[in-house]
Amino acid sequence: MGVFLILRKEAMIGDGVAHTAFGGIALGLLLGISPILTALGVSIFAVAGIHYMRAKGIATSDSAIAVILATGFSGGLIIVSLAGGFTVELFSYLFGSILTIDATDLLVVSVLGLVTLVFLGVFYKELLSMTFDEGGSRLMGIPVGPLSLAFSILVASTIVLSIKAVGIVLVVALLVLPGLSALQLRLSFRGTTAAAIVFGILSMVLGVLLSAIYDVATSGVIVFLAAAIFALTAIYKRLG
């Protein structure tokens, strides 16, 4: 998923969604309902907004993302100050805390993971084709609009559900770094995707283990490892 996101030059959409999700989480905490659910709702609304602005020519991709990001985050800030606090809980969403994940979260994440995998598996060639050449793909009869909206919604959901693990601030890194590392290897598309998945899992598993052993922040270790892998692959590319 990260590979597609980078190639579509939409890596920042992740950041936009994550910040918007902050607004959603604040809203959820305020109303006393599941913050993940409100964050999901707000984020999906946000990507739909980005798509709408782009399709109507109101704003280009990056400025549309900036607008949405600012709106969501400032909305969150207003809600937080209105409610006068709940900083502790909010803090856990900002920086992530893998230990707060409960059985329900795990179930939701698994289901979503499966949906994402199936979606990418089924529409693999269409997504790839339109990533490479959107206009040409439209000419060939690929439903570019609906597919890219569906893709963005899945990205939004993935981000929101990863927030509990690594937090709003670092979630984009987790999505983008493995893909970016894999791209350094100059493989075919199939190879790149496989490498990205391996890198992602590697930094997750190692990160959890190392943080448990040395008792440091899990999210920090995971993203730091992902960045280290990126540095190594980048060096490999220069040498290769």
Please answer whether residues 118 and 126 qualify as being in contact, where contact means their C-beta atoms are separated by less than 8 angstroms.
no
45 vs 119, which CB is nearer to another protein? Answer: 119
Question: Binding residue for another protein (CB under 8 A) from 40, 154, 183, 225?
Answer: 183
Question: Binding residue for another protein (CB under 8 A) from 32, 57, 84, 135?
Answer: 135
Q: Which of 163, 195, 207 is nearest to 2 (CA)?
A: 195
Integer angstrom CA distances of residue 97 from 94, 132, 173:
9, 37, 16
* Closest separation in Å from C-beta 168 to another protein: 29
Alpha helices, H only, the chain: 2-7, 11-31, 35-55, 61-83, 87-95, 103-122, 124-132, 134-139, 144-166, 171-184, 189-214, 218-239
Contacts (Cβ under 8 Å, ≥6 apart) of 6: 176, 179, 180, 183
- Binding marks (x or -) toward another protein, 86..125, rule CB under 8 A? ------------------------------------xx-x
The answer to the question of residue 55 lying near another protein (CB under 8 A) is no
Question: Binding residue for another protein (CB under 8 A) from 12, 67, 101, 128?
Answer: 128
The answer to the question of residue 190 lying near another protein (CB under 8 A) is yes
Question: Binding residue for another protein (CB under 8 A) from 70, 191, 212, 232?
Answer: 191
Stretch that binds another protein, among 10-18, 25-33, 68-76, 188-196 (CB under 8 A): 188-196
* Closest separation in Å from C-beta 147 to another protein: 9
The answer to the question of residue 148 lying near another protein (CB under 8 A) is no
Angle at 44 between CA 133 and CA 152, to 5 degrees: 15
Using CB under 8 A, list all residues that contact another protein.
Answer: 3, 7, 122-123, 125-126, 128-129, 132-133, 135-137, 139-143, 182-183, 186-192
